[in-house]
A and B are shown apart, each in its own frame.
Chain A
Amino acid sequence: MKLFLSKTLLLCLFISTHAAASDLIMARSTLSFSEAMTNLQVSLKEHGYTVARVQRIDVGLTGMGYKTDMYRIVFVGKADEIKYLVNKYPQMIPYMPPKVSVFAEGGDTLLVTANPSLFAHMVDDEKDKVIFERWESDVYSVFDDFRRAE
């Protein structure tokens, strides 16, 4: 009985934390774009990730009638994990390093990233799937920080 209850409890916890498991993970914050960029980069570093590059993809967009030039892609990862993955699974190369897109919408800033668990099907070694589980929970944690930041 005890086992049953604690299992149920565990199951409930599991379900509630993963209730949102979705293909794209998104977050909105009322932070301005530049504050949001700083917040995201600091939080990623705190979680042990390296921001390899911040790419603008908006050059020329305003000239075309797009209302904002605030659109960046952040390339992020852990050097050793990425090296390990691309060597072992070359088919992952086009998806590496993982990216987070950051864009302004009105006065708010949005983050979007692909759920790292989507990559898990590209690896066959069970122990490597753990890497993506960790990335996923880190993304949720970084995005939670971002949502709460004022």
Chain B
Amino acid sequence: MVRFLLFFFLLFSTGLASAAPDGRALFNQHCAACHGTEGRGGVGVPLSLPAFINSVSDEYLKRTIRHGRPGRIMPAFTRLSDAQVNAIVTYARSWTMVPAVEFNPAPIAGDRENGKVLFGQHCAQCHGDDGKGGKGTGVTFSRERDLPIIAPALNNSGFLASASDTMIKNTVMHGREGTPMASMLQVGLKEQEINDLVSYIRSFQERDSVDSDDDENETVIMVESPYDFDETIESLKTEIANNNFKLIRTDYLEHGFVEEGKENKKQVVLHFCNFNFLYQALAIDPRVGLFLPCRITVIEQDDKVLLMTINPMRLSHLFNNYDLDEACKKMTELYKAILEDATL
């Protein structure tokens, strides 16, 4: 029995040793899609800039991974093991080979009201009113932006749970070279004023979760048509145009899956678009293209003609992006208007 247990112990421990997490591979798998190869930036901010990585603690990195940035795209990685998170942090340190700094966790006292005034004067133009962050996130190569790197949200629960007061103070004092974030000492702020700013930033309340009423939203928007199949499609085409959308293409749901001519002719998809809208949505989050262009499917089944589409509001939470919620809401309303008008 002892030998038997020993065998298992060895098997288990060697298994663990050889499976020591590979930080680089984990980063490429979980982070690089947003933060770029070797942390050079993308939908997420650059992480490998010395002015960033050398001035943040391991604790800040670990907590950021765990909390993510609710409503600002970055998901919370709750299912990675501690060993995996540590491996990612160790890998991130290898970019500059500079040992981690540590910050005193003690809170910093300051005049919150004065901090608020200063914030409006020196920070809000980039970090937004109430520190809600710049429009868009990170560095994107594909869209026009006001800044080379979009200012992160400071009122974000993920940020506030990760950064200590002293770390925030240090960032504001010294800025981050190579990014639009300037040293506020150089701008002329005094240390006490920076303390006031820190105290104001710390006072930001968490924003309400956006997807709280998520389950009340149906997954699909569906209406029954009073017209026959072909009439419904004609009516839909008219209403798409009336709502300022351009019809791109009409085809069968099974197009490309079955031999041409053999498709189910009672399942037709209309693809349409409004370029202004498409552009705006992609500028907020390039990933939304996944649900674009707009599509409405018309089917005839059991003597009923049905029009159906996805519900963008329901999908909005997938992107974890507050800015997108507004656009998705608008899209849901548009879909509903078109479906309603087409079946009047």
Q: Which residues of A contact B (CB under 8 A)?
A: 1-2, 5, 9, 15-16, 18-24, 26-28, 30, 50-53, 55, 57, 60-61, 64-68, 71, 73, 75, 77, 79, 82-83, 86, 90-91, 93-97, 99-101, 103-106, 108, 110, 112-114, 118, 122, 144, 147
Contacts and interface: CB of A to CB of B under 8 A. Distances in A.
B254 interface: yes
Nearest to B258: A79
A118 B257 contact: no
Given A52-B255, A57-B293, A94-B220, A65 B42 contact: no
A52 B257 contact: yes
Interface stretch (B96-104, B118-126, B274-282): B274-282
Contact of B287 (A2, A20, A24, A104): A24
Contacts of B80: 19-20
Interface string B286-297: 110110110101
B287 A112 contact: yes
A73 B289 contact: yes
A57 B273 CA distance: 9
Contacts of A100: 290
B290 A73 contact: yes
B142 A93 contact: no
A118 B318 contact: yes
A54 to B, nearest CB: 9
Given A66-B143, A67-B142, A94 B33 contact: no
B267 interface: yes
Interface of B: 4-5, 8, 12, 15, 19, 28-30, 32-34, 36-37, 42-43, 75, 77, 79-81, 84, 140-144, 219-220, 222, 253-258, 267, 271, 273, 275-276, 278-279, 282-283, 286-287, 289-290, 292-293, 295, 297, 299, 301, 306, 308-310, 315, 317-320
Given A19-B84, A28-B42, A103 B29 contact: no
30 contacts: A5-B8, A19-B81, A23-B75, A23-B317, A24-B290, A24-B319, A28-B28, A28-B36, A51-B256, A53-B256, A55-B271, A57-B293, A61-B279, A66-B144, A66-B279, A67-B141, A73-B289, A73-B290, A90-B299, A90-B308, A91-B222, A93-B308, A95-B220, A101-B287, A103-B142, A103-B289, A105-B140, A112-B287, A112-B289, A114-B290
